[in-house]
Amino acid sequence: MKVATLRSFLSVHTWVGLIAGMALFIAFYAGAITVFSHELTGWQNARAVAPAADAQPMQAAQALVDKVIVTHPGAAEAFYLILPGEHGPEPALYWYEQGAGGNVAHHFRLAEDGSLRELPQRSGFVDFIYDLHFTAGLPRTFGTYLFGIVCILYGLALVSGVVIYAPVFLKDLFALRWGRNVKRLWQDAHNVVGMLSLPFHVIFAWSGAVLTLGVLLLAPFQFLVFNGKLMEVLESDFELAAHVAPAQRAAAALPVAELMARAQAASPGLAADSLSYHDYGDANARVEVYGHLDQQRLNRLAGVAMEAATGKVLRVVEPASMSPGMASLRGLQTLHFGDFAGAPVQWLYFLLGLGGAFLFYSGNLLWIEARRKRRQEVQPRRTQVMARLTLGVCLGCVAGVSALFIAARLLPEGHEPTLYYAVFGLTWLWAVVRPAARGASELLWLCAVLTALVPVAGLVGPAGLMAPWADPLVLAVDACALVLAWVYAAMARGVRRRALQGEPNSVWSLTKATAPQ
């Protein structure tokens, strides 16, 4: 390959990585944690007060539905019921009300005394970390579309990186050259992590773009191919049963427990976790039961559509009977979230997520070091700005996420966004006002301390202190937190050592050496 062509690919790889790198750091760091979203919901509730022995899950779900319909009759038009289980120990109900500024989301649960309580649409630290993965903490719609663009740039960075590294792929694949040249070591680590995890990064870039920009990608087909009728063509894929007009005649819906029994009879082995209702209490009411069904396929989503009043089964959709397009989309979602093959794949995705975060963090550090003026005491402003931005955004995310875990134990539900933004903002501000060489070490110590406090907060529960080994899930979270805290502390010591003993005339150095006269 010509040198000029290689330089062009290097320029593309560098600038695309810088533009998208910090957003992708947040996406990968938060994404590594969301792989265990169901388990973390259990971790948050591991020390919660146990429900009464006679409180059956289906009875609790039915009580929630009845309470919402009585209190908010408008919810009968359409609402979504989440059953107790992997999404949490309590049933939850979502209702989207048409308002002046668009749909207004309502999230309901039952209080301990049986009264209705309304929470933010997405409450709990697990939901917030999930939103971070797709939006980086930006407003949900804007952040999601922005991340779609970032995923496209991410794919471009992958292609250019492969072209750059391919000529020396076998020679330098496992080369980790230890020594005084720290930049070369970081370059080797960056290349090794990037190339060994390349297939997974291709999956993440592709699926991320489809999941965030899918609606926009359909727009050309909607207007140029299907003459505005694409949604009608896709209706059978996105809805189990076609919507019918209300009969304007009252008819009581079957209890949740009865609907669940009929759905499982129609689809043996279905592990249902949610129900979607339309026109509740009407003779034409419809209910769709969704869950998972293992059929030795990548996609496990299944559903049963029924008449809510009679329980008559209208349609059954299982992984083996899905249309090719919907099976591909659901399979892509499964690949993106690692929701297959159980714990081994979850841990693999967790490590890949952390490795991806390292990839983007190290890429920024390499760019900064590559532009160091070795004979110049004052470094270019662009490298100083990039160093501070990298520290503020990346370490602000790490510190903020650790603070979320602590708050999940010690603060009432609903304070997660405020706490994260406060920690992130203060961390970013500290990175801006402090010299990068000092700020890097200080902020890494902050991340280490906050992460080490997660096991301490994990000891706290409604009944008081509890041994960490009393719950295997709590013990696993505590162990991961302690390992990460040790990593951040080691990085803080390394950064401090580099600042005092490393090569001078760098944004990471506290020593200066001027050129000889």
Average pLDDT over residues 162-188: 63
Q: What is the pLDDT of residue 513?
A: 52
**Whose CA is closest to 40, among 126, 168, 130, 104?**
126
Average pLDDT over residues 454-477: 71
The answer, yes or no, to whether residue 286 has pLDDT greater than 90, is yes
Share of the chain above pLDDT 90, in %: 33
Confidence label for 251 from pLDDT (cuts 50, 70 and 90): very high
Q: What would the two tokens of residue 503 be?
A: 């090569």
Average pLDDT over residues 360-368: 82
- For the chain, the 3-state helix, strand and coil shares in percent, each to the nearest 5, are 60, 10, 30
For residue 294, the 8-state DSSP code is: -
Confidence label for 516 from pLDDT (cuts 50, 70 and 90): very low
Tokens 């093959």, residue located: 341
Confidence label for 423 from pLDDT (cuts 50, 70 and 90): very high
Q: What would the two tokens of residue 161 be?
A: 């990186």
Contact yes or no for 362/189 (Cβ under 8 A): yes
Tokens 């008081």, residue located: 464
Q: What would the two tokens of residue 37 be?
A: 């979203």
Confidence label for 503 from pLDDT (cuts 50, 70 and 90): confident
471 vs 259, more confident? 259
Average pLDDT over residues 18-26: 87
* pTM of the complete model: 0.84
Q: What distance in Å separates the CA atoms of residue 419 and residue 405, rounded to the nearest whole number?
A: 11
Q: What would the two tokens of residue 459 be?
A: 């000891």
Confidence label for 465 from pLDDT (cuts 50, 70 and 90): low
Burial classification of residue 445, based on how many CB atoms lie within 10 Å of its CB (0-12 exposed, 13-18 middle, 19 or more buried): middle
Order of all β-strands in the sheet with 92-99: 116-119, 102-110, 92-99, 78-82, 271-278, 286-292, 301-307, 313-317
Q: What phi and psi, each to the nearest 5 degrees, are found at residue 113?
A: -85, 5
The answer, yes or no, to whether residue 463 has pLDDT greater than 60, is no
Q: What would the two tokens of residue 451 be?
A: 């992460």
Task: State which of 380-384, 467-471, 478-482, 513-517 shows the largest mean pLDDT.
Answer: 478-482
pLDDT tens digits, residue range 222-243?
777 777 777 777 766 777 877 7
pLDDT tens digits, residue range 35-58?
998 888 777 765 444 444 345 888
Q: What is the CA radius of gyration of the chain?
A: 26
Q: Is the dihedral of CA 382, 384, 385, 386 positive or negative?
A: positive
Q: What distance in Å separates the CA atoms of residue 15 and residue 12, rounded to the nearest whole number?
A: 5
Q: What is the pLDDT of residue 82?
A: 92
